[in-house]
Chains A and B, each alone.
Chain A
Amino acid sequence: MRNALGSVDTVLLLGGRSEIGLAIVTRLVRDGASRVMLAARGGTVPEEELARLRKLGAEVHVADFDASRPETHQALIDTAVDRLGDLDVVIPAFGVLGSQAVYDGDPEAAARDVAVNFGGHVSAGLAAARRLREQGHGTLVVLSSVAGVRVRRANFVYGSAKAGLDGFAQGLGDALHGSGARVLVVRPGFVIGRMTEGMTPAPMSVGVDEVADAVVAALRSRARVVWVPARLGPAFAVMRLLPRAVWRRMPR
């Protein structure tokens, strides 16, 4: 249960190797979370990550999770409830970022990645939301992106999946209104990390730690949307209004 000061007790991370996901989990454990499940493909999470979380005092469980197999997602949530009890925070942090140039030449790969970046989040998110609704509390953290707020030609396959995810998350949040459960939509800018290695950072880019800090702060509050950095919110209010002819010329 979330306590009076906003600390939580249990955390489920889907995409257990995600850099941002692990950064959030680490902060939540430091803040008092005592039971954690890291769900990753093949059930493989780096030993040093497990050891680090255990050293911080958490009971850490590992489970097999494949984002591209939606038929397994409900069962995974059930397993998590079995091990952790009520789910205070669920973070689906899996995703793939391919290059638009590759997608242009390999439509099948593009569809596969969209299935993970959007479809996987839909099945995992709905399965988690059902549980959160039943237990009457808990937060589903959806890692959206500014790439989905207004899709750019430079990465429109990735961007359109994020656009779908962002819309899904908002709708799910509204559907859960009044149930005690909530959805927190996180919209980071360009995140400098493992996932974007070798890419040139866009303006207003952020580090993994900044994103994790912002998510943890938002979990303590009653926020439903968090932009990282916060000034991206007003910036995109303007960018959404730019004429197509201008937007099209955006270099990245």
Chain B
Amino acid sequence: MTLLTGWGRTAPTPATLARPRSADEVAALVKEIGADPARKGNGADPARKGNGADPARVGHGSRGLVARGLGRSYGDAAQNAGGTVLDCAALRPSWTLDPESGLVTASAGTSLHDLMTGLVPRGWFVPVSPGTRYVTVGGAIAADVHGKNHHVDSSFGAHVRSLTLVTADGSARVLGPSDDLFWATVGGMGLTGVIVEATFACVPIETSRMRVDVERTRDLDETLDVMTATDDRYRYTVAWIDLMARGGRTGRSVLTRGDHATREDVRGHVRGDPLAFAPRQRLSAPPRVPDGLLNRATVGAFNAVWYAKAPRERRGLIQGITPFFHPLDAVAGWNRMYGSRGLVQYQFVVPFGAEDTLRRVVGALSTRRVVSFLTVLKRFGAGTPGMLSFPMPGWTLALDIPAGVPGLAGLLRVFDEWVVAAGGRLYLAKDSRTSASVVAAGYPRLEEWRAIRDAADPDGLFRSDLARRLRL
């Protein structure tokens, strides 16, 4: 048994870790665990699947399995207490690029970091990159991840042309956007099967740099106004909010918006190959960090400096991929900075027109001086047909809060109510603390998803702590 947590390092549970190295080994493992006699008679009532029907037998088979990539989901999505977790990052990373079409076919264990270091020098970029490169292709599809280009390009699933899914019967099914199971798998948090391979469309680039405009706003309303008015001029946009600012400055932000730089843009800035990309990890968080390092004083000071050092307005800045897309990837294990109790990510989306909900949340956080190191606001565009896919047109806000903050549970429950009342929802890949009813209210297609999942996995073989906690 191995004790596993998500990136937030909260609520650890033990599981048997299996390390399949190929799609065939995945299929064999799925068959083996599915055939464990401890599972027999376990699927009669779908509401009770995966509970381990026969208590006389203590076998990992009765608790099912779930795939895990690089463990960047913040909560318990890739944990399976008492069961099996497939470490898919061990799947031999491999990918091929069709230079004519820009289509990449990659094994599910390939990380976006591997892909980028290979693709960028050849003039291609991944269609969507979340805030870290250290996610696998399988995880990117299962969480239907989004990036700074969501308002233009939607989420990862929108770019997937086909995927291979090992389902509960141990067979490998090749699925495309015309299949219901495909859209139950995109955003399906690994609960429909194990993704072993995918083909998706990449984006041509001329250089490995970004041409970036940075500007500051005075308060939340100005942030919303500027983003609404001019986000569409850029492929990538995001706002960082200084939550420690209060009063009339509540919601003041630094907007960072840009596009892939052309060769013309970087002339005079970059010597040598404009497509060169060889990222290095320079820093590593210490293995043990005293609790309470990130507190009101330190985060407040950091935020004030960060805001102050951002230019009032600066256009045409040339930046590399890491500082623009993945600033935190420069520090390995940054999640350890939150101390032994870990951190909670809270990310929600509310539809356009529900800006008041956004104002209330930002106001409440700011008034109570809740410590959030990285508060990020983003305007979403169209979602995908993924039934449990998170993004929808509207505003999404992501908070990083130390799990030890007093009163946090109650405050976030209040936010849950506001978000659901506004027609919004929470991001499952980030969640570690909400309730089944909040998820059901936020994902109106949950029943439809369940029906498709139950057809593909009638005995409830694919289970995770997240699935049990939220009764998915």
Give the interface of A toward B (CB within 8 A): 1-7, 9, 31-32, 34, 74, 77-78, 81-82, 85-86, 130-131, 133-137, 178-180
Q: Say whether chain A's binding surface is mostly helix, strand, loop, or mixed.
A: loop
Interface pair B13/A136, CB less than 8 Å apart: yes
A136 to B403, CA, bound (A): 22
Select one of A4, A77, A179 contacting B403, CB under 8 A. A4
Interface pair B469/A134, CB less than 8 Å apart: no
Select one of B58, B62, B82, B436 contacting A34, CB under 8 A. B436
| Chain A positions within 8 Å of B465 at CB level | 1, 137
Q: Is B386 in the interface zone, CB < 8 Å from A?
A: no
| Chain B positions within 8 Å of A34 at CB level | 435-437
Interface pair B11/A136, CB less than 8 Å apart: no
- Minimal beta-carbon separation of A121 from chain B (angstroms): 19
Select one of B15, B55, B344 contacting A134, CB under 8 A. B55
| Chain B positions within 8 Å of A78 at CB level | 55
A74 to B54, CA, bound (A): 12
A83 to B386, CA, bound (A): 31
| Chain B positions within 8 Å of A5 at CB level | 10, 344, 403, 408-409, 412, 432-433
Select one of B8, B12, B433 contacting A7, CB under 8 A. B433
A62 to B469, CA, bound (A): 22
A179 to B63, CA, bound (A): 14
Task: Pick the most buried of A31, A34, A133, A137: most chain B CB atoms within 10 A of its CB.
Answer: A137
Q: Is B130 in the interface zone, CB < 8 Å from A?
A: no
B1-26, CB under 8 A of A: which get 1 and which 0? 10100001011111100000000000
9 A-B contacts (beta carbon < 8 Å): A1-B81, A3-B11, A4-B344, A32-B409, A134-B82, A136-B1, A137-B81, A180-B1, A180-B81
Interface pair A180/B13, CB less than 8 Å apart: yes
Q: Is B173 in the interface zone, CB < 8 Å from A?
A: no
A23 to B76, CA, bound (A): 29
A31 to B469, CA, bound (A): 15
Interface pair B13/A31, CB less than 8 Å apart: no
| Chain A positions within 8 Å of B434 at CB level | 3
Q: Which B residues, 128 to 173, have Cβ-Cβ distances below 8 Å to chain A?
A: none
Q: Is B52 in the interface zone, CB < 8 Å from A?
A: yes
The residue in chain B whose Cβ has the minimal distance to the Cβ of A138 is: B81
Closest 7 pairs (CB-CB, A-B): A136-B82, A136-B81, A4-B432, A4-B10, A1-B469, A3-B433, A5-B409
Select one of A77, A82, A85, A178 contacting B14, CB under 8 A. A178
A6 to B341, CA, bound (A): 11
Q: Say whether chain B's binding surface is mostly helix, strand, loop, or mixed.
A: loop
Q: Which B residues, 311 to 353, have Cβ-Cβ distances below 8 Å to chain A?
A: 342, 344
| Chain B positions within 8 Å of A6 at CB level | 409
Interface pair B11/A2, CB less than 8 Å apart: yes
Decide yes or no: A130 and B55 within 8 Å by CB, A3-B11, A3-B433, A4-B342 being known contacts: yes
Interface pair A137/B82, CB less than 8 Å apart: yes
A2 to B10, CA, bound (A): 10
Interface pair A133/B433, CB less than 8 Å apart: no
| Chain A positions within 8 Å of B471 at CB level | 85
- Minimal beta-carbon separation of A124 from chain B (angstroms): 14
Interface pair B432/A3, CB less than 8 Å apart: yes
| Chain A positions within 8 Å of B63 at CB level | 134-136
Q: Is B468 in the interface zone, CB < 8 Å from A?
A: yes
A235 to B210, CA, bound (A): 66
Q: Is B251 in the interface zone, CB < 8 Å from A?
A: no
- Minimal beta-carbon separation of B40 from chain A (angstroms): 15
Q: Is B48 in the interface zone, CB < 8 Å from A?
A: yes
Interface pair A85/B433, CB less than 8 Å apart: no
The residue in chain B whose Cβ has the minimal distance to the Cβ of A32 is: B435
- Minimal beta-carbon separation of B211 from chain A (angstroms): 39
A178 to B15, CA, bound (A): 11
A165 to B383, CA, bound (A): 57
Decide yes or no: A136 and B48 within 8 Å by CB, A3-B433, A131-B55 being known contacts: no
| Chain B positions within 8 Å of A137 at CB level | 13, 81-82, 465
Q: Is B413 in the interface zone, CB < 8 Å from A?
A: yes
Interface pair A85/B48, CB less than 8 Å apart: yes
Q: Is B83 in the interface zone, CB < 8 Å from A?
A: yes
- Minimal beta-carbon separation of A109 from chain B (angstroms): 34
Interface pair B75/A134, CB less than 8 Å apart: no
- Minimal beta-carbon separation of B10 from chain A (angstroms): 4
Interface pair A179/B469, CB less than 8 Å apart: no
| Chain A positions within 8 Å of B12 at CB level | 180
Interface pair A86/B51, CB less than 8 Å apart: yes
| Chain B positions within 8 Å of A32 at CB level | 409, 413, 435
Interface pair B14/A136, CB less than 8 Å apart: yes
B261-285, CB under 8 A of A: which get 1 and which 0? 0000000000000000000000000
Interface pair B14/A134, CB less than 8 Å apart: no
- Minimal beta-carbon separation of B217 from chain A (angstroms): 32
Interface pair A4/B83, CB less than 8 Å apart: no
| Chain B positions within 8 Å of A7 at CB level | 409, 433
The residue in chain A whose Cβ has the minimal distance to the Cβ of B410 is: A31
The residue in chain B whose Cβ has the minimal distance to the Cβ of A135 is: B82
Interface pair B1/A9, CB less than 8 Å apart: no
